[in-house]
Amino acid sequence: MSVTSSTKSEGGLGETIRVVIHALLIALVIRTFLFQPFNIPSGSMKATLLVGDYLFVSKYSYGYSRYSFPFSPPLFSGRIFGSDPTRGDVVVFRPPNEPSVDFIKRVIGLPGDHIQMKEGLLYINDTPIKRERLSDFIGEDPCGRSEATARVKRWKETLPNGVSYESLDCVDSSGFPDNTNVYEVPPGDFFMMGDNRDNSSDSRVFGYVPLENLVGRAQMIFFSIAEGQNAWMVWRWPWSVRWNRIFKLVR
C-alpha cells in the first residue's frame, strides 16, 4: 500500500510540474509574440493615459526585433515581419539613450517629416495641425507640481491623417519645449511626443527612435487604479479602481 501511494504521489507531483512548465511556456510565447502587459508610471501621456493604467501592448503590430524578447538578447538586428507605425499610434519603445527602459509616446513624425513646436503649436511639414480648445482638464495634477488636483488647458489635436486625441498645456508657450528647432526625421526613424506636452521627455529631448527600437502598439486598458493607490489592496477597489477606464481602447 505504501509503495502504491508513494508512486501515485510522485506521479501527481510530476504532472503538476509539467502543467506549471507548460503554463509558463505558453505565457512566455504570448508575452513575446502576441501581447505584453504594461503599466503607466508617469503623467507624460495625460489625458490619454493616466498614472495607474494597466494596458495590453500588441507585439505583432510592427513585427519583431531584439527588443521584443525578454532581456533584449542580440539575436539579430533590424526587424522581422516588420511594418511601420501609423502617424498617431501610441507605441511602447526603447529610446536610443536608454535602451533598457520602456517608454510610451505617440508617433508624431514619420521618416522625412519636418517637425517643430512654435508657441505651443505643433507644425508638421511647415503646416500647423488643427487644434480645438476643449474644457479644462481637472484631475490628478499632470504638471509635476504635486498638487492633489489641478486645472490645465486641454486641446483636441487632429493630425494630417485624421487621427485625433487630447493634449494638455501646463505652462505658457514662451520657452522650450513649446518652441523648438525644426527636426528633420531621418529614414527609418520616428519622432515621438507625449500628449502632456510640457511634462514629457520625448524626441525633443532624446532624439529620433529607430524602427528597431519599437516594442509594440498600445491597444487596450485592462485595469486602472487611482494615482497613489496600490493594485494589490483589493479591499479598496470599490473606491480606488477607475471602473470607467477598464476595457477602454487606446486612441
Mean pLDDT is highest, among 6-15, 32-41, 71-80, 182-191, for 182-191
For 22, 30, 76, 176, the CA distances from 25, given in Å and listed in that order, are 5, 9, 22, 47
Pick the CATH number of 2-249 from 3.40.710.10, 1.10.3470.10, 2.10.109.10, 3.90.550.10: 2.10.109.10
What is the separation of C-alpha 183 from the centre of its chain, rounded to a whole number of angstroms?
A: 22
What is the torsion angle, in degrees rounded to the nearest 10, for the CA atoms of residue 40, residue 67, residue 186 and residue 130? -30
Contact 229, 199 (CB under 8 A): no
Is the pLDDT reported for residue 1 higher than 50? no
From 46, 65, 68, 105, the catalytic residue: 105
CA–CA separation, 67 and 204 (whole Å): 22
Terminal-residue alpha carbon distance, the chain = 64
Average pLDDT, the chain: 89
Query: Domain residue spans in the chain?
Result: 2-249
- pLDDT grade for 3, boundaries at 50, 70 and 90: very low
Q: Which pLDDT score is estimated for 2?
A: 44
Q: Which pLDDT score is estimated for 147?
A: 67
CB-based burial label for 65 (10 Å; 0-12, 13-18, 19+): buried
| 80-94 confidence digits (pLDDT tens) | 988 999 999 999 999
Pairing between β-strand 189-193 and β-strand 103-109 as defined by DSSP bridges? antiparallel
Give yes or no: 8 in active site: no
Calculate what percentage of the chain has a pLDDT beyond 70: 94
Identify the DSSP state of 52.
T
From 44, 68, 203, 224, the catalytic residue: 44
Is the pLDDT reported for residue 189 higher than 50? yes
Give yes or no: 105 in active site: yes
Phi-psi group of 73: left, alpha or beta (phi > 0 → left; psi -120 to 50 → alpha; rest → beta): beta
Cell matching residue 37 = 502587459
| 125-157 confidence digits (pLDDT tens) | 999 999 999 999 988 778 877 666 788 899 999
Q: Which pLDDT score is estimated for 71?
A: 81
